Every structure is written in structure tokens, then in C-alpha cells.
Amino acid sequence: MMLLGVLLGAGLAIGLAAAAAIWLIVQAAIWVVLLPFRLLFALVALPFVILKIFLVLLFALVFGALAIAAIAAVAGVALAVLVPALPLLAVIGLTWLFLRAMRRPAAA
């Protein structure tokens, strides 16, 4: 009885190994048969791939320049708002310094 189990197990293992080997051979044959078509489609798609690379680079260049221009515009607006306020900030700062000095106790 045990011999029958061993024989069945060995037969099953050999059968599965043979089926796996046959499956790999079939896959390799299909791959070899379809390889010329894959190469042909790769050649047909090559101009589109080159166009895509060109468009991505152009997109990055244009929107990079726009981002730098936007940052410069924000900095320009911030300076345009803050520069006229500098005299007022100077007066406020000097007033604060004067009042702070007046609140100190006199040195003994």
C-alpha cells in the first residue's frame, strides 16, 4: 500500500515536471514566433516615442519657465507692497524703541 503511494507521488511529480517543461517550451515557441511582430511594432512606435520625449521636454521647459516667472512676479508684488511701508515701519520701530527705553527704571 505504501509502495503504491510512493509510486503515485513520484508519478505525479514527474508528470507535473514534464507538464511544466512542455509549457515552457510552448511559451518559448510562441515568443519566437511573435518576435518579428514585436520588433516591427517597436519600429512603427519609435517615432511616437521620440515625439513623446520631445513633448515632455518642451512641456517641462515651458512650465519651468512659467513657474520661475510666477515666483518672480510674487516676489515683485511683495516688494511693491513692502517698500512703500518701510518708512512707516521705521517710525513704528523707533517709537517702540523710545517707549521701551522710557519704561526702564533709572540706573542707580
Reported as a single tens digit per residue, the pLDDT across 14-65 is 999 999 999 999 999 999 999 999 989 989 999 999 999 999 999 999 999 9
More confident residue, 9 or 73: 73
Q: What mean pLDDT do residues 54-81 have?
A: 96
Give me the chain's average pLDDT, please. Answer: 91
Distances (CA, A) of 37 to 24, 34, 72: 20, 5, 52
Structural domains of the chain, count? 1
Residue 96 within any structural domain of the chain: yes
Q: What mean pLDDT do residues 66-70 have?
A: 97
Rounded Cα–Cα distance for residues 44 and 51 (Å)? 13
Rounded Cα–Cα distance for residues 42 and 36 (Å)? 10
Distances (CA, A) of 61 to 3, 56, 57, 108: 75, 9, 6, 69
So what's the pLDDT on residue 8? 87
Residue 108 within any structural domain of the chain: no
The parent domain of residue 27 ranges over 2-103
